[in-house]
Amino acid sequence: MAESNALPLVLLSEQFAKLPGIGMKSAQRLAYHVMSMSKEDAEAFAAAIVNVHKTVHLCSCCQNYTDLPMCPICSDVRRDHSTVCVVEGPKDVSAFERTREYKGTYHVLHGLISPIDGITPDKIRIKELLGRIDKGGISEVIMATNPTVEGEATAMYISKLLKPLGVKVTRLAFGLPIGGILEYADEITLYKALENRSEI
């Protein structure tokens, strides 16, 4: 965009390029697209961006994004409030909700422990999880972080904090993905699938 004739277009494409997964070339294309939108549509787009910051905040209970004082899941009496599924981010809540099988509640950490990136345990929402357990009524905490180094470390760290409190801590099962082909599975997945085998 250095070749562009209009500085505001350069500035807008730089804004787009800051978004994850959008390179400089896509950013340029998006900036030109915004220019080709009607003034009203562009203003609606800008307003939507400002609006999420004005109206969306963290649920006072599970820390997920919501525009209500408490999110619909935490305030739903039909959900099982004794089971808490601990996830890295709000996207993971969406993923579990799509299964339509999980009836418990969630706790969103907003990150994983990663000392190399400066993310120490106090930077993520662990304190809030301990607060919920202190209040009582929670019997099981499911650690549903990703099976990565950071996900495993976070799950281990939290489980060590929770066990002395008398809460059952569980971890998601790891194994072959449904529809996956054994031949193409990596060694660690296959080992996990073997290790966690169950009787049929």
Residues in contact with a second copy by CB under 8 A are 1, 3-9, 11-12, 15, 18-21, 26, 28-35, 37, 39, 41-56, 59, 64-68, 71-73, 89-91, 93-94, 97-98
- Residue 123 CB, shortest distance to a second copy, in Å, is 13
Question: Between 20 and 136, whose beta carbon lies closer to a second copy?
Answer: 20
Nearest in space to 113 (alpha carbons), one of 130, 126, 95: 126
Enumerate residues 6+ apart whose C-beta is below 8 A from 75: 68
H helix intervals, 37-148 = 39-55, 90-99, 126-134
- Residue 67 CB, shortest distance to a second copy, in Å, is 5
What region, left, alpha or beta, does residue 100 occupy, with left being phi > 0 and alpha being psi -120 to 50 degrees?
Answer: left
Question: Between 114 and 159, whose beta carbon lies closer to a second copy?
Answer: 114
Question: Distance between CA 7 and CA 13 in Å, rounded?
Answer: 10
Question: Between 4 and 196, whose beta carbon lies closer to a second copy?
Answer: 4
Question: Between 21 and 166, whose beta carbon lies closer to a second copy?
Answer: 21
- Residue 83 CB, shortest distance to a second copy, in Å, is 18
- Residue 17 CB, shortest distance to a second copy, in Å, is 11
Enumerate residues 6+ apart whose C-beta is below 8 A from 87: 93, 96, 106, 107, 108, 109, 144, 145
